[in-house]
Chain A
């Protein structure tokens, strides 16, 4: 039966989640406290959560419901985006439960099953439960096994069960396939939500809006006009407290495999028939499967490790000096490479990808650099300062779009042309503070809307591209050291220089 109060004409009613609860594993982790809990509060505060929404924490700690509620409270207080409201908190805290137990303790899962069953009865969560696994992937098997054994993972005809997992989705193709198989044995494909918070960002979605809602970009979005595409994700911070996660993983696995390849896919894909999840995914998969690595990996890849130095006026240690890092570690904190998209639209257009930690500034951007005009009817002097036209999607911070083009320098008697930029700042033009990616993604999980979540095929295609590079690097010894606070090792410039091009300074 359709809901008589939902009318397609009604554009004001927000999408809000139906009755449900969320079970959070890994409640003490950074991500849970800084992102997941605040996002849940923000959703509640904005009225997107259903009456009776409940949050169940599962951990080894010897806590009562109130203790867990206090942890959530503190996390919300410190990290929530929207102002703290006692009323919202009161309403949310009524649904907070805690189940104490070891991840491998079968009895604890029976207790968990009892708790969610009790919530169905007392808070009307309707048997709909999402399991958020904010735990290291090594612990997935034991959790999934127990969820299955207690029947918690079983879909029922009128109630859903969903599982949310965070990256990394494996560390190479083989491990990713193993993980997908493992999750797939317990949850149905449609019930697995892989969170890549990048895909929840408004500006990432805006890439599709700009490309497919406008007439003026599409005609030049191909190798006839595009010279090269540069996708950069630079962080100014080091590895912080993530030594145990990061060492052995490195920049390419951490960032290129998922974020940068997703950005590449959105930039390069063909127009999907509709924005249905399946169609968008099919287009992304087509692009990802036409990606080719250069033959000479030595010439077209670069990696580095940050050395001690000064970053933005603060003295910082090098990667090998960071606490918890093996002083002989060969893990890269900077990775750059060229890939090609072998299809009619992009043949011959290099896509340069790079990411690194402890670089000059925090910035993520996709820069589409155009070819120079075929003929410039000016004297050489006049256009000396003119570069290539470019269209840049700034993903973060200062989300927006910049268009770079040539314009006459005012007030000169002769014709002189130089680059100017026209800037569209997303945050300023739209919502005061756009929702955090996690808000959007968690809401999508609870509603069951999958377009923003990568499926196993995309994840595996990503590893397929990256694995040969990782294997190659594994034989090359130590990465180059680079100065903290700069733009990475010199070897990256050789990649573009070989093609007669240069990296933009982002």
Chain B
């Protein structure tokens, strides 16, 4: 790792290139630049998750940490390139003093030419990510409303500020649940009248899952809060017996109970942030399904 103190965006960019050359591999196959906007508390986990994701999507990771509390205005950088952690390039930048207002100016020289830019806020995010200093550069803007103090309020903000290209990890956390649910309806079945989703209080994924099901079936949705983590169960009421999917106490599997079928057990492990990021980065065009669910969300 290289440390640069009181440096500039251009110098950081030069240092990354120099490090690449020193390793004898100036040509890289980077597919995107990821800008992470984080505070000291969340930066380490978010950067580590992104580094793990870089195995799937080789990328330049720029973690920007505003430190308005600092007395001196200066930029400090920690740079590492293509280590054991993966092929990516990582620069963790601390923007001290007045510079914390101008993250934009630091990021611009570091964006890889002619490749997509993705912005990721692991914690608090601006009300309109697409219109923020950093978000303006990004075609994909990823927030994580589960990771803030008032998640449901955050979800409402995501709704009001939604612009195509926004996504939220609370939505990515649902993919496996949604996949199991969708598979249950690949065979003809009677219409669904009512949906009940039970899950952790204040978990935005619970709300999004209910909204997706309610909007897809055009039916009413009840939400039941639980003191256990994540989504606990989904119950779909139909003409005949209901279909229920319940997370088992081991937290790794779910049991599917379907009318006229034997019970089935499926693995549905919790996924790491890096797995969620990897899913989000697989496609960089707007996630229209998320857009539809969030904009029609009743919250």
Contacts and interface: CB of A to CB of B under 8 A. Distances in A.
A480 B179 CA distance: 56
B298 interface: no
B267 A44 contact: yes
B114 interface: no
A90 interface: yes
Contacts of A5: 178, 181-182, 185, 213, 216
A75 to B, nearest CB: 19
A194 to B, nearest CB: 26
Interface in A410-466: 422-425, 428-432
Nearest to A86: B252
Contacts of B267: 44-45, 47, 85, 87-88, 91
Interface string A8-37: 011111101011000000000000000000
B129 interface: no
Interface string A81-98: 000010110110010000
B29 A425 contact: yes
Interface in A57-106: 85, 87-88, 90-91, 94
Contacts of A423: 27
Interface in B74-133: 87
B262 A4 contact: no
Chain A residues touching B, majority SS: loop
A429 B29 contact: yes
B216 A7 contact: yes
Interface string B179-192: 11111111110001
A13 B250 contact: no
Contacts of B266: 47, 51, 91
Contacts of A1: 188
A94 B253 CA distance: 14
Interface stretch (B11-19, B136-144, B146-154, B284-292): B284-292
A431 B252 contact: no
Contacts of A184: none
B36 interface: no
B179 A14 contact: yes
Interface string B202-236: 00000000000100110000000000000000000
Given A4-B216, A44-B267, A431-B56, A51 B182 contact: no
Contact of B262 (A3, A124, A429, A430): A124
Contact of B264 (A18, A88, A124, A430): A124
A12 B181 contact: no
Interface in A177-235: none
A425 B178 CA distance: 33
A122 B262 contact: yes
Nearest to B87: A428
A125 to B, nearest CB: 10
B237 interface: no
Given A45-B267, A422-B27, A428-B29, A12 B178 contact: yes
Nearest to B167: A12
A13 B58 contact: no
B222 to A, nearest CB: 18
Contacts of A47: 176, 179-180, 266-268
A88 B217 CA distance: 30
A428 B253 CA distance: 32
A430 B31 CA distance: 9
Nearest to A126: B187
Contacts of A87: 250, 252-253, 267, 269
A91 B185 contact: no
Contacts of A44: 267
B289 A19 contact: no
B265 A3 contact: no
B31 A432 contact: no
Contacts of B253: 87, 90-91
A10 B262 contact: no
A10 B261 contact: no
A264 to B, nearest CB: 28
A486 interface: no
Given A6-B182, A51-B180, A90 B265 contact: yes
Given A19-B187, A87-B252, A429-B29, A13 B182 contact: yes
Interface string B254-267: 00101001101111
Given A9-B292, A51-B264, A87-B252, A429 B31 contact: yes
Contacts of A432: 55-56
Contacts of B292: 9
A50 interface: yes
A52 interface: yes
B216 A124 contact: no
Interface in B278-299: 279, 283, 285, 287-289, 292
B4 to A, nearest CB: 27
A123 B262 contact: yes
A3 to B, nearest CB: 5
B56 A124 contact: no
30 contacts: A3-B182, A4-B185, A5-B181, A9-B289, A10-B178, A11-B285, A11-B288, A12-B287, A16-B183, A47-B176, A47-B179, A47-B266, A47-B267, A51-B264, A52-B262, A87-B269, A88-B267, A90-B253, A90-B265, A91-B253, A91-B264, A91-B267, A123-B262, A126-B187, A422-B27, A425-B29, A430-B56, A430-B57, A431-B56, A432-B56
What are the 9 closest A-B residue pairs judged by CB atoms, nearest first?
Answer: A51-B264, A124-B261, A5-B182, A9-B288, A10-B289, A429-B29, A432-B55, A3-B185, A87-B267
